[in-house]
């Protein structure tokens, strides 16, 4: 079973990974964006970790709702409201239970990813974070490790795509040939989930 501590570890591991990879995320956001994705997420997840330490939420749902709220309020870019919605909606779907199992988390994450698609209007293949998140949720029925691999492959598979949502879409065909920064950071989020699970 997964308790509040597991979800805290997930957020801490994500923040550490975003810190390590911030330069790479910003470099990916340079040719097809405005070169701020790494710093956007660093600011956001630093605030998430600080808020989780300060407020000490006691349930899995409360950890994710708090984290989502922090991302929405601290990240100016498109990714803040989108990742914020992902975590907030996933947290709401987990309800007030002190512990949840993997199947429940997979179902809640599915609701979270659906909410991101509704908010941003992106579908798989539009060269966004959705291209890593959807395959990850599909693979989560297997294991956290399988979800991580699926997210990483989904991020790599954005390179030949033309962006149809977000800032990169303004470039039209010139967005082809670059890996999407948001799909790359989504793979980091899923890898941190596997790390929190010890996989
Ligand atoms: P901004 O583009 O406002 O500077 P970021 O650089 O932080 O925001 O995030 C850019 C990433 O956000 C993109 O690489 C893409 O994956 C994701 N993104 C942008 N718009 C959307 C959308 N409508 N739906 C899903 N993801 C999106
Ligand atoms: Mg940007
Ligand atoms: Mg920006």
Sequence ranges of the domains in the chain: 2-196
Containing 100, the helix (H) or strand (E) segment is: strand 99-100
Atom of ligand 1 nearest to the CA of 128: 16
**pTM listed for this prediction:** 0.98
Length of the chain: 199
Residues with CB under 6 A from ligand 1: 29, 33-34, 36-37, 40, 77-79, 82, 120-122, 128-130, 165-167, 180-183
User: Alpha carbon of 77 to those of 36, 82, 121, 165: distances in Å?
Assistant: 8, 9, 16, 14
Q: Residue 99 phi/psi, 5° resolution?
A: -140, 145
Distance of CA 167 from the midpoint of ligand 2 (Å): 7
Distance of CA 76 from the midpoint of ligand 3 (Å): 7
Question: What single DSSP character describes residue 197?
Answer: T
Atom of ligand 1 nearest to the CA of 180: 14
Residue-wise pLDDT tens for the chain (199 aa)?
999 999 999 999 999 999 999 999 999 999 999 999 999 999 999 999 999 999 999 999 999 999 999 999 999 899 999 999 999 999 999 999 999 999 999 999 999 999 999 999 999 999 999 999 999 999 998 899 999 999 999 999 999 999 999 999 999 999 999 999 999 999 999 999 999 999 8
Q: Candidates 79, 184, 186, 189: which one to mutate for ligand 1, based on the most atoms within 8 Å of Cβ?
A: 79
Quick one: which ligand is closest to 40's CA?
1
- How would CATH label the architecture of 2-196? Alpha Horseshoe (1.25)
Alpha-carbon distance 183 to 156, whole Å?
8
């Amino acid at each position: 079973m997964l308790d509040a501590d597991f979800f805290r570890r997930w957020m801490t591991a994500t923040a550490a990974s975003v810190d390590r990879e911030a330069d790479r995320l910003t470099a990916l956001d340079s040719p097809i964006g405005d070169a701020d994705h790494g710093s956007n997420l660093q600011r956001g997840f630093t605030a998430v970790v600080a808020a989780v330490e300060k407020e000490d939420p006691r349930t899995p749902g409360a950890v994710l709702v708090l984290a989502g709220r922090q991302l929405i309020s601290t990240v100016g870019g498109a990714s803040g409201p989108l990742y914020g919605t992902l975590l907030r909606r996933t947290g709401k779907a987990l309800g007030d239970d002190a512990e949840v199992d993997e199947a429940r988390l997979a179902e809640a994450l599915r609701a979270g990813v659906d909410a991101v698609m509704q908010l941003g209007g992106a579908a798989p293949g539009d060269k966004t974070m959705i291209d890593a998140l959807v395959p990850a949720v599909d693979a989560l029925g297997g294991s956290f490790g399988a979800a991580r691999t699926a997210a990483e492959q989904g991020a790599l598979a954005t390179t030949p795509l033309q962006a149809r949502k977000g800032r990169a879409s303004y470039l039209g065909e010139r967005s082809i040939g670059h890996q999407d920064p948001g799909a790359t950071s989504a793979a980091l989020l899923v890898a941190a989930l596997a790390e929190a699970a010890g996989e």
